[in-house]
């Protein structure tokens, strides 16, 4: 018999003994029970890890996608005391020459109060007013045209002659406004002196021509949009070449920082550019940190399951001491004994990991596809738990779980291999 065949027979023998020890024999039901408990611990831990990591990744990707649809990838501003950007047409021309830029448009941004007239007076709400360029059809620039749920995105002058206004669905619902309704927009940025010497804010009526939804509660509650000219007039900008800034859309959002550097180099001082990664850095850093923290916390479940594997194998060693002694007396080496118990723990770890991964993938699919778990949109940015499973995340969970299970087998296997044959056979 060749050494290779002898090694193959030894491998089969080790695996046969390992399976035998895992099964419940006569009067050994408890050992089988704790084996199932150890297996169940691994399954639960891996399932929880897959689902939670998928949800955390889904939240981050969903939020990122909505932000990129609703805001420019890069904004260009001008340093100064007035917070105004001058000669915006020249800036847009220079920005459009930068490689990677697919769109650029001016915008005006101002904090305003919007109010509707009721039987008991005015009902005001604070909002962010964006003035956008109807020539480019961009919202500084974004993809809001696809987000309209009522009315039209076309910011043309309505029949009433009032300036048009787009509202977020949350703000429209709160104020009970619909397409065709009028409301008062108040700007405290452009104060005017009355005949008595007092300062009064600028007020103007607008007509609601459309309602949009971004899927993000805060955005839909705070943002309203009108034409660039109407916003300039409201905030007191008399020069049509002066705006608040220029919004830029890039071909690849993930390369926005690189494009931002090129824009900054092209424009120079006093202009400066900021990418969406910079403006939302705190938010996405918090999400990444939360994902890591949740992974570590739920990883403790797998660690507890590893201790269950240790206790299971230790009890198997204690219960099978005489059999181990007989095996050693018949010529099985210490390495062979260790291999038997490592195979037991590895089987629990691998089987539990595979079943847990399958359960996690199925659960994650059901949660994401059928939107089973609903959450309050006024607390979070979404109304349900989105799920996105990264293959590398799943692979990392599988490798970590199997590795922990393997490490957990070392001490019991070593303890079994150190038993002396004579003492083990005499063990009762």
Query: In this predicted structure, what is the pLDDT of residue 417?
Result: 83
**What are the φ/ψ torsions at residue 352 (nearest 5 degrees)?**
-65, -40
Q: Which of 25-34, 167-176, 186-195 has the highest mean pLDDT?
A: 167-176
Average pLDDT, the chain: 84
Q: Confidence band (pLDDT; 50, 70, 90) for 194?
A: low
Q: How far apart are CA 379 and CA 39, in angstroms?
A: 38
Residue 273 burial (C-beta neighbours within 10 Å; 0-12, 13-18, 19+)? buried
- State yes or no: pLDDT of 131 exceeds 90: yes
pLDDT tens digit sequence for 57-70: 998 888 888 888 88
Query: In this predicted structure, what is the pLDDT of residue 371?
Result: 84
- State yes or no: pLDDT of 428 exceeds 90: no
**What are the φ/ψ torsions at residue 217 (nearest 5 degrees)?**
-60, -50
Strand 223-227 relative to strand 121-132: parallel, antiparallel, unpaired?
parallel
3-state secondary structure of 185: strand
Q: Give one DSSP letter per residue of 139-160, joined into a string.
A: SSS--GGGGEEEE-S--PPPTT
CA atoms within 13 A on the CB side of 28: 16
Cβ contacts of residue 301 below 8 Å, gap of 6+?
41, 44, 45, 48, 49
Q: Confidence band (pLDDT; 50, 70, 90) for 142?
A: low
Q: Which residue has the higher pLDDT, 335 or 256?
A: 256
- Averaged pLDDT, 348-368: 95
Query: In this predicted structure, what is the pLDDT of residue 398?
Result: 95
For residues 23 and 344, the answer to whether their CB atoms sit within 8 Å is no
**What are the φ/ψ torsions at residue 373 (nearest 5 degrees)?**
-100, 115
- Averaged pLDDT, 190-202: 74
Within 10 A of 411 (CB to CB), how many other CB atoms are there? 13
- State yes or no: pLDDT of 140 exceeds 50: no
pLDDT tens digit sequence for 77-112: 998 767 789 999 999 999 999 999 998 999 999 999
The DSSP call for residue 135 is T
> Quick one: tokens of 223?
């943002």
Query: In this predicted structure, what is the pLDDT of residue 134?
Result: 63
**Model pTM?**
0.78
Q: Which residue has the higher pLDDT, 122 or 228?
A: 228
Query: In this predicted structure, what is the pLDDT of residue 138?
Result: 47
Query: In this predicted structure, what is the pLDDT of residue 44?
Result: 93
Q: Which residue has the higher pLDDT, 329 or 118?
A: 329
**Of all residues in the chain, what percent carry a pLDDT higher than 90?**
42
Query: In this predicted structure, what is the pLDDT of residue 322?
Result: 79
pLDDT tens digit sequence for 6-53: 666 667 776 777 777 776 554 454 446 778 888 999 999 999 999 999
Query: In this predicted structure, what is the pLDDT of residue 9?
Result: 65
Q: Which of 32-36, 150-154, 187-191, 366-370 has the highest mean pLDDT?
A: 366-370
Query: In this predicted structure, what is the pLDDT of residue 118?
Result: 60
> Quick one: tokens of 279?
């403006």
- State yes or no: pLDDT of 410 exceeds 70: yes
Query: In this predicted structure, what is the pLDDT of residue 24?
Result: 56
**What are the φ/ψ torsions at residue 171 (nearest 5 degrees)?**
-65, -40
Query: In this predicted structure, what is the pLDDT of residue 314?
Result: 84
Please state which of the ranges 197-206, 244-253, 345-354 shows the lowest mean pLDDT: 197-206
For residues 181 and 158, the answer to whether their CB atoms sit within 8 Å is no
**Of all residues in the chain, what percent carry a pLDDT higher than 70?**
86
> Quick one: tokens of 377?
């949109």
Angle at 210 between CA 207 and CA 212, to 5 degrees: 135
Residue 59 burial (C-beta neighbours within 10 Å; 0-12, 13-18, 19+)? buried
- Averaged pLDDT, 289-310: 86
The DSSP call for residue 163 is P
């Amino acid at each position: 018999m060749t050494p290779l065949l002898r090694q193959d027979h030894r491998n089969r023998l080790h695996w046969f003994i390992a399976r035998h020890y895992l099964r419940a024999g006569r009067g050994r039901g408890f050992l089988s029970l704790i084996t199932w408990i150890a297996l169940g611990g691994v399954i639960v831990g891996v399932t929880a890890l897959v689902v939670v990591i998928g949800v955390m990744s889904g939240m981050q990707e969903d939020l990122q996608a909505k932000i990129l649809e609703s805001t420019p990838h890069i904004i260009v501003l001008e340093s100064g005391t007035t917070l105004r950007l001058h000669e915006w047409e020249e800036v847009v021309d220079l920005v459009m020459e930068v490689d990677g830029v697919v769109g650029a448009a001016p915008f005006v941004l101002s904090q305003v109060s919007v109010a509707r007239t009721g039987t008991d007076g005015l009902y005001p709400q604070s909002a962010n007013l964006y003035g956008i360029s109807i020539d480019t059809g961009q919202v500084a620039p974004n993809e809001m045209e696809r987000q309209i749920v009522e009315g039209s995105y076309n910011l043309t002058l309505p029949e009433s002659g009032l300036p048009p206004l787009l509202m977020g669905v949350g703000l429209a619902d709160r104020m009970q406004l619909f397409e065709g309704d009028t409301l008062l927009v108040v700007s405290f940025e452009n104060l005017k002196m009355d005949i008595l010497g007092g300062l009064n804010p600028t007020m103007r009526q607008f007509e609601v021509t459309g309602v949009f939804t971004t899927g993000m509660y805060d955005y839909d509650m705070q943002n309203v949009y009108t034409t660039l000219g109407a916003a300039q007039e409201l905030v007191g900008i008399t020069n049509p070449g002066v705006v608040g800034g220029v919004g830029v859309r890039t071909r690849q959002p993930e390369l926005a920082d690189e494009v931002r550097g090129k824009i900054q180099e092209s424009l120079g001082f006093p202009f400066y550019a900021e990418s969406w990664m910079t403006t939302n850095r705190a938010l996405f850093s918090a999400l990444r940190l939360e994902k890591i923290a949740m992974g570590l916390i739920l990883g403790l479940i797998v660690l507890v399951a590893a201790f269950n594997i240790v206790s299971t194998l230790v009890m198997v060693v204690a219960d099978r001491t005489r059999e181990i002694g007989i095996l050693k007396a018949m010529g099985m080496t210490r390495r062979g004994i260790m291999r038997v118990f490592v195979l037991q723990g590895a089987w629990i770890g691998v089987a539990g990991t595979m079943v847990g991964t399958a359960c996690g993938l199925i659960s994650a699919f059901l949660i994401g596809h059928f939107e089973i778990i609903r959450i309050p949109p006024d607390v979070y940015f979404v109304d349900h738990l989105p799920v996105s499973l990264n293959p590398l995340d799943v692979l990392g969970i599988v490798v970590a779980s199997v590795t922990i299970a393997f490490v957990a087998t070392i001490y019991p296997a070593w303890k079994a291999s150190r038993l002396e044959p004579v003492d083990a056979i005499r063990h009762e």
